Amino acid sequence: MKINEFKIHKLTLNKILIFSIIIATLGFITDFKNTFKYGGMDLRNRVIGARLLIDGADPYYHKWDETMSERFLDPHDCPLAPVNRVTVPPTVLTLHSIIASLHYKIQRIIWFIFQWVLFLLSLVLFSKSTKLKYKSKLIWIIGLFFISGSYYWRLHVEKGQIYILYVFLITLSFWLSQQNFKTSSFLSGFFIGLTASLRPPVIFMSIPLFIYKKWKLLLGNIIGLMMGLSSSFILGNISVWKKYSSAMQIWGKIHLGIISRRHDGFSQISAEGLDNLTILADIPLHDSSLQYVFKTFLGISLSSNLLIIFLGFSILFFSIFMYNSRNKHVSIGNVFLIGITLVFLCEFFIPAARLSYNDIIWLIPLSLIIINYDLIKLLLNPVSVLLLLSIIFSTSFHLITCHWLISDYAMLLFTISIVLLFLRDTNIFQNNSMIYTDDIKNKPVIATIITIKEIINNMNDQNIECSNYEK
């Protein structure tokens, strides 16, 4: 029995896709309700940060008091903490300032629509980046079923988070890199740079660009980064960046428990006519940063410096692997995959909370893996068990202890393993060959699941009774 990619296409992808659309629709309705019911605590602090920046105030150390306008009140902030809750760089605040003068309720709705549009656009761009129809469908299924149905996407939309913007920009950058017009590579790099100015860890995507000598992309990257950083000077100046940097150091200490942040909150909890700003949806929220996990499960307090050193070593390790394969043909898709894996890895090392909504980044490595690799070969590899564990625990078994830990770290390990396996042997998951069922024996679950349909069909053809089959 031969199994190739064409056979996978014959599986019930369409039916799963329909089911995924139903799940996504239900998810959209839930998010719509949540937007009206809850205040969006993380959107609120960015909106206030942007308003403060517009008014020339310090967005990172500002503390509201009753003499000030309610427009600057973040009821979730702690009046006694040295910093407020704004943790995004001035570039993000500059971007937010476009709509910051609108009423918060309108911004909340705009941001809800914005998040879903960016999410769907990311899926459109990834699905358009492959010529194979079944891969395109698979990307939609991963997106609609496993990501839009996941608790972390619910959390992302309810909190009014911004990670989907970074995901979209990187996706756009990848899509541009696949186009053939003259400045496509430059523009692709430009968007990576722009994203890095919004989300600093994205800067690590430059490492593979450098090692694999993608000079046009790298140039675009530098210009994008410069442009992004320059834009922040429209409203602020260099001192805002200094304050951002010092505020982040304080946040590092808060995360470690060196500085306590009492959750006293402000006595006034309503602002701009809204009294739902402090109401939070009952959605699981977990911190999967290495610092938190070590402290919680092992009682070990990892200092920020130690984490940075570990991160440095990890990046060095990856760089050595990349350097060794620098002369082999590495497609731009793989360069993106390596880059995003470094960013993904870095997120866990940052001495700050890595909360569940960060998992929206999964969309990028998963889509790139689907696009770049022969899925049968990939699924036959034992590491696919990690993928299975991760996606199951991201949508299911939320009432089971530590489901988030399994889900997050399984995905991290899966992505790292795939990248390392690729760097060791660039042909390992290449799209080409046929695979026979004999190869599937003693291989992971996922591979055999693929063959279930095959078995049922075969059983049907041969008209074998189940009882005989058992004998």
Partner 1 sequence: MTKILNVVIMKNSMQKNKDIFNQVINQCLIFGIFISALGFLTDFDNTIKFAGNDLRTRVVGARLLINQFDPYFFKWNEDISDVYLDPGDSPYSPVSRVTVTPTVLIIHSIAAKLPYKLQRVLWFIIQWVLFLMTLLLFSKSTISNSKSKLIWIIGLFFISGSFFWRLHVERGQIYILYVFLITLSYWLLQKEFKHSVIFSGILIGLTVSLYPLVILMFIPMIVYKKWKLLLANIIGLQSGLSISIILTDIGLWRKYISSLYIHSKMYLGIIDYYGFYSKFDAEGMKNFFIWNFLPSFDASLQKVIKKLTGINLSLNFILTFSALFLVFIILFLYFSRHKNISMNKLFLIGITIVYVIEFLLPMERLSYNDVIWIIPLSLIISNCDLRKLLLRPSTVLLVIGLIFSTSFHLLPYSGLICHYSILFYTALTTLLVIRSRFYL
The answer to whether 102 and 43 have CB atoms below 8 angstroms apart is no
Kindly tell me which of 51 and 377 has the beta carbon lying closer to partner 1.
377
Cβ distance to partner 1 smaller for residue 110 or 449: 449
Task: Determine, following the binding rule CB under 8 A, whether residue 400 of this chain makes contact with partner 1.
Answer: yes
Which CB, 102 or 456, lies closer to partner 1? 456
Query: Minimum Å distance from CB 35 to partner 1?
Result: 14
CB of 445 to partner 1, least distance (A): 4
Tell which positions 404-423 bind partner 1, by CB under 8 A. Answer: none
Task: Measure the CA–CA gap between 463 and 236, rounded to whole angstroms.
Answer: 75
Distances (CA, A) of 412 to 65, 268, 288, 328: 43, 41, 11, 25
Q: CB of residue 28 vs partner 1: minimum separation in angstroms? A: 10
Comparing CB distances to partner 1, the nearer of 50 and 293 is 293
Give, in order, the Cα–Cα distances in Å from 401 to each of 149, 155, 192, 286, 404: 20, 19, 37, 12, 8
Encoded amino acid at 190, one letter = F
Closest CA to 334 of 371, 384, 359, 363: 371
**Applying CB under 8 A, which of residues 1, 80, 258, 320 lies at the interface with partner 1?**
1
Place of tokens 């429209």: 234
Stretch that binds partner 1, among 233-241, 269-277, 362-370, 398-406 (CB under 8 A): 398-406
Nearer Cβ to partner 1, position 226 or 445? 445
Q: Which stretch binds partner 1 (CB under 8 A): 198-206, 247-255, 370-378, 440-448?
A: 440-448
Residue placing its CB nearer to partner 1 in the complex, 26 or 234: 26
What single-letter amino acid sits at 410? A
Considering the rule CB under 8 A, would residue 434 count as an interface residue with partner 1? Answer: no
Residue 30 interacts with partner 1 (CB under 8 A)? Answer: yes
Q: Rounded distance, CA 101 to CA 43, Å?
A: 14
Q: Which stretch binds partner 1 (CB under 8 A): 178-186, 305-313, 346-354, 457-465?
A: 457-465
Judged by CB, which is closer to partner 1: 66, or 282?
A: 282
Residues sharing a CB contact under 8 Å with residue 413, sequence separation 6 or more, in sequence order: 383, 386
| 403 scored as a contact of partner 1 (CB under 8 A) | yes
Give dist(CA 283, CA 182) in Å, integer: 46
Q: How far apart are the first and last CA of the chain?
A: 22
Q: Which of 159, 208, 215, 157 is nearest to 186 (CA)?
A: 215
| Site residues (CB under 8 A) for partner 1, limited to 329-368 | none
The answer to whether 80 contacts partner 1 (rule: CB under 8 A) is no
Residue 106 binding partner 1, by CB under 8 A:
no
Can residue 230 be called a binding residue for partner 1 (CB under 8 A)? Answer: no
| 279-318: contacts with partner 1 (CB under 8 A) | 282-283
Strands 435-436 and 2-3: antiparallel
Interface with partner 1 (CB under 8 A), residue total 45
Binding letters toward partner 1, positions 132-151, x by CB under 8 A: -----------------x-x
Query: Are residues 435 and 376 in contact, defined by beta-carbon separation less than 8 angstroms?
Result: yes
Tell me which of 36, 301, 397, 430 binds partner 1, using CB under 8 A.
Answer: 397
445 interacts with partner 1 by CB under 8 A = yes
Residue 396 binds to partner 1 (criterion: CB under 8 A): yes
Is residue 73 packed enough to be buried (19+ CB in 10 Å), middle (13-18) or exposed (0-12)?
A: buried
Output phi, psi for 330, to 5 deg: -120, 115
Q: What DSSP state is assigned to residue 271?
A: B
Q: Round to whole Å and give the CA distance between 420 and 397.
A: 30
Binding of partner 1 at residue 452 (CB under 8 A)? yes
Q: Which residues, 6+ apart, have CB-to-CB distance to 460 below 8 Å? A: none
67 or 442: CB nearest partner 1: 442
| Interaction of residue 455 with partner 1, rule CB under 8 A | yes
State in angstroms the smallest separation of the CB of 242 from partner 1. 41
The residue (of 309 and 456) whose beta carbon lies closer to partner 1 is 456
Query: DSSP letters along 223-238, please?
Result: HHHHHHHHHTTTT--H
Handedness of CA 289, 372, 330, 426 (dihedral sign): positive
Work out the number of other CB atoms within 10 angstroms of the CB of residue 152.
26
- Judged by CB under 8 A, does residue 469 bind partner 1? yes
Site for partner 1 (CB under 8 A): which residue of 47, 162, 435, 440?
440
Q: Using the rule CB under 8 A, is 441 a contact of partner 1?
A: yes
Question: Does 33 interact with partner 1 (rule: CB under 8 A)?
Answer: yes
Cα-based distances in Å from 280 to 120, 148, 180, 276, 286: 25, 20, 46, 8, 15
Q: Does 263 bind partner 1 (CB under 8 A)?
A: no
> Is 238 among the residues that bind partner 1 (CB under 8 A)?
no
- Residue 392 tokens, joined: 């199951």
453 binds partner 1 (CB under 8 A): no
* Sites of contact with partner 1 (CB under 8 A): 1, 19, 23, 26-27, 29-30, 33, 149, 151, 154, 282-283, 395-403, 437-438, 440-442, 444-445, 448-449, 451-452, 455-456, 458-460, 462, 464-467, 469-470
